[in-house]
């Protein structure tokens, strides 16, 4: 469970991948009114102290409710449950914990690669955080990881590093890793772009376009227009 000391203000705009702790009584009301009322794992989710994750808003979502998601482990068909909760039901919010804090939940075969990724992050003053199966296995103790699992990482950017060097470092580590390394670079304006897609775009000269994801949707953006770093 994320450290309570790292909780963020609920009044600040929510971002994709934010983790939310939901009031158990409000959660029960949400579940009872959904199509998943009879699901035992979902019914007890909030009472166990497990968070939900902020997802992108979808057509049909109510504007006055917060869209959230709950991913189930592979033995439950990896079903992804989309729900909505009233903002008043949110007790606290967190960003995903640092990768270093989740290494203990990873398979032994992953440990060396995770150490290399943590070291790469330290070199670039970027603290990578998992947001896929490794995150949920670490948070819940349920079995989300398998031999076919990918590693999904969020790299929150700042204005004190070289993006090409960071991308090259991730690619180099993946080349000998036992798993595929996916994930996104979190931009300064709250958007996010696939590290792999950005690396490919930057190999070409100027004007290449990438898909930028936000909480409200997605858009195509030129690499020259991305808020990757603050002006110096």
Q: Is 152 a catalytic residue?
A: yes
Whole-number Å distance between alpha carbons of 52 and 98: 17
Q: Is 75 a catalytic residue?
A: no
| Angle, vertex CA 74, rays to CA 102 and CA 136, nearest 5 | 25
CA 167 to the chain's CA centroid: 18
Active-site choice (101, 152, 159, 182): 152
Question: Taking the CA of residue 22 as centre, how many other CA atoms within 13 Å lie in the half-sphere pointing to its CB?
Answer: 32
Active-site choice (23, 61, 101, 150): 150
Whole-number Å distance between alpha carbons of 166 and 194: 13
Whole-number Å distance between alpha carbons of 63 and 78: 27
- SS3 (DSSP) at 175: coil
Taking residue 156's Cβ as centre, other Cβ atoms within 10 Å add up to: 18
| Residues annotated as part of the active site | 150, 152
């Amino acid at each position: 469970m994320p450290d309570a000391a790292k909780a963020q203000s609920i009044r600040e705009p929510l971002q994709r991948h934010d983790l939310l702790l939901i009031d158990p009584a409000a959660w029960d009301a949400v579940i009872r009114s959904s199509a998943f009322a009879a699901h035992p794992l979902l019914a007890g989710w909030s009472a166990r102290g497990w968070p939900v994750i902020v997802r992108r808003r979808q057509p049909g979502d109510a504007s006055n409710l917060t869209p959230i998601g709950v991913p189930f482990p592979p033995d439950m068909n990896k079903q992804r449950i989309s729900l909505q909760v009233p903002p008043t039901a949110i007790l606290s919010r967190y960003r995903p914990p640092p990768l270093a804090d989740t290494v203990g939940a990873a398979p032994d075969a992953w440990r060396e690669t995770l150490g290399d990724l943590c070291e790469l992050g330290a070199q670039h003053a970027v603290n990578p955080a998992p947001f896929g199966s490794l995150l949920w296995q670490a948070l819940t103790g349920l079995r989300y990881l398998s031999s076919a699992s990918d590693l999904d990482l969020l790299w929150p950017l700042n204005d004190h590093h070289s993006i090409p060097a960071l991308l090259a470092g991730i690619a180099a580590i993946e080349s000998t890793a036992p798993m595929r390394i996916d994930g996104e670079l979190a931009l300064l304006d709250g958007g996010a772009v696939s590290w792999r897609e950005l690396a490919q775009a930057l190999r070409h000269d100027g004007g290449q376009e990438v898909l930028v994801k936000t909480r409200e949707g997605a858009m195509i953006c030129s690499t020259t227009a991305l808020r990757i770093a603050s002006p110096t």
